[in-house]
Chain A
């Protein structure tokens, strides 16, 4: 089943057209990688999916994005509910300057959860899902800024999971991390891919090849090729895709 369906999406920054006529369907409970050279529109596309582009002035969207059948750019859409459903993990780990507990509890509290025991349970489950519980269970009240970069990023994943999203968007989540931390996050993503639909933007072709089920190749604001990851890396249909994944440009 598809969780996201994009039809003829155009996206503008002012007068610049950053995405051109994108149509794609993203499968539920799988990992979809978006690859392409810098400025190809893959991050812009990702941020259309939870309407984070709304924060930038002078942007415009044409076409439709259906998430579980609902057009998220229709006038009466509840953005709070949308973002609860579609979580996001950013390039740079960005925990709040609060305790580990408060970081995780922030989302559920924002959505009205006040019961202490329920919040504690959410914190524990979320940290367990993000494979961070063992390292943090004795220091939940310590500042999240004291964690290492990799731990901070897993905390951000836990924080996103705490509001029970169905879809998880990840914008180059390992680009600020060392190889060991990257490996842990990748293992975590593979684990999460069983229960969540993950869309990940990555600069690393190896990463896309290692963890994703489907891969979409963006180039100059267009979706050039979209297929099973194995097919993209073994037998790309378009010459641009082949040249990019073999490292001849980008």
Chain B
């Protein structure tokens, strides 16, 4: 085969793979929106769920927001604290290597294992029951590696000169941390939080095992609830209503896309700052 022909074949293959990736995404989005958008109405978005399918998904939206809020409340301070310890305080050694290894291993565990652990440990051993609290604590463990790593990256990207300048003025280490280092790391930390939000919104297995699936709005952190993704899973798996499932899926896709755009926006502002 001539060199020119080989080039042409390779060009076509590369073009095809690119086309395929885009086509798959557009295909899925198009399919979900085509099947789902027709069902979406103000009533569907704001009414409570009825087993006869005359209601909507309002409780699921609220539960999702609750779970996102509570999970972030737990994971953000923990992740930032651990990142600060590793980057600013700990000396490179066995302990830091162990922590890094542990968090990296955490990131590789399938999410249903987290769900199983959460169901046994938080709901049963600690007695929190199927509840927002159990769900959020489980998500905290699942999100910790992401939160830790994005914060670490953010802290690493801060010029050492800022720290030196602050210390050379006689400012304390703690003041340097809170007034100079953390504010500069904020865009990176925000990116980690947004990634976490996306993860909570999209997760199912790690959520319904400790959170349960009750279809009303939880009244306290000790109540069970049902997030959008779990709702979608049930509607489809139990064959309750594919119409509702597609509509829920459309809402979910819009939420996730919005999250991704927000993440990109924050990332770009962080890069400009550097």
Contact = CB atoms under 8 A, between A and B. Distances in A.
Interface of A: 50, 52, 55, 57, 79-84, 87-88, 90, 92, 94-97, 106-107, 110-111, 156, 159-160, 163
Contact of A52 (B168, B172, B184, B273): B168
A110 B165 contact: no
Nearest to B163: A55
A110 B172 contact: yes
Interface in B167-216: 167-172, 175, 179-180, 183-184
Nearest 4 pairs between A and B by C-beta?
Answer: A94-B161, A110-B171, A84-B170, A83-B170
B159 A94 contact: yes
A94 B170 contact: no
B169 A84 contact: yes
B168 A83 contact: yes
B89 to A, nearest CB: 12
Which residue among B165, B166, B167, B171 has the maximum number of chain A CB atoms within 10 Å of its CB?
A: B165
Given A79-B170, A83-B168, 13 more contacts: A80-B172, A82-B170, A83-B170, A87-B168, A90-B164, A90-B165, A94-B159, A94-B164, A96-B180, A110-B169, A110-B172, A159-B165, A159-B169
Nearest to B172: A80
A166 B161 CA distance: 23
Interface in B89-120: 91
B20 interface: no
A49 to B, nearest CB: 11
Contacts of B171: 80, 106-107, 110
B interface SS class: helix
Contacts, number: 63
B31 interface: no
Contacts of B175: 110
Contacts of A82: 170
B85 interface: no
A108 to B, nearest CB: 9
29 contacts: A50-B168, A55-B164, A82-B170, A83-B167, A84-B169, A87-B168, A87-B169, A90-B165, A94-B161, A94-B162, A94-B164, A97-B183, A97-B184, A97-B273, A106-B166, A106-B169, A106-B171, A106-B179, A107-B169, A107-B170, A110-B171, A110-B172, A110-B175, A110-B179, A111-B170, A156-B165, A159-B165, A160-B169, A163-B169
A30 B26 CA distance: 72
Nearest to B274: A97
